Amino acid sequence: MTAGKLMDAYESCISNLRKTQSERRVNSLKKIDPANFTKEGRRQVSEALLQEMTSLNHLDVELYKYAQTIFANQHKRMLVNKVVTNQLDSGFDDSYRAFSWEAICIAVSVVFVALFAVLFVTAKRRTSKLKL
């Protein structure tokens, strides 16, 4: 599957998902009774219900803080692993690249010296055989 086909499939899936989620949201909002937020309506809310809402809100805040700590720990771990991986990769790559370029330069130099020596020796033999 090519990247273009994958992106087209993703776009169609995400558009269908958005459509169904908006339908669910609208339908669930239709089922909710309208709330009266006037001062008189707020006074009619029982103390037990207010206590339950406060405790549930407190639990939500605790859960959110716990999720934040988990995320922060995972993020730190990921950054440490990334730094270690980058250091290992860069150290290996740098030493390997330096070695390979040095080796290539030395090998090319040796080949040129050998080629020059061979040409020099054969040229000397050719000139010595000439009779004037």
Burial of residue 128, with CB atoms counted within 10 A of its CB: 0-12 exposed, 13-18 middle, 19 or more buried:
exposed
Separation of first and last alpha carbons in the chain: 77
Distance, in Å, from the CA atom of 58 to the CA atom of 79, rounded to the nearest integer, reads: 31
pTM, 2 dp: 0.36
pLDDT at 83: 76
Q: What share of the chain in percent tops pLDDT 90?
A: 30
Render pLDDT for 69-79 as a digit per residue (tens, 0 to 9).
Answer: 999 999 898 88
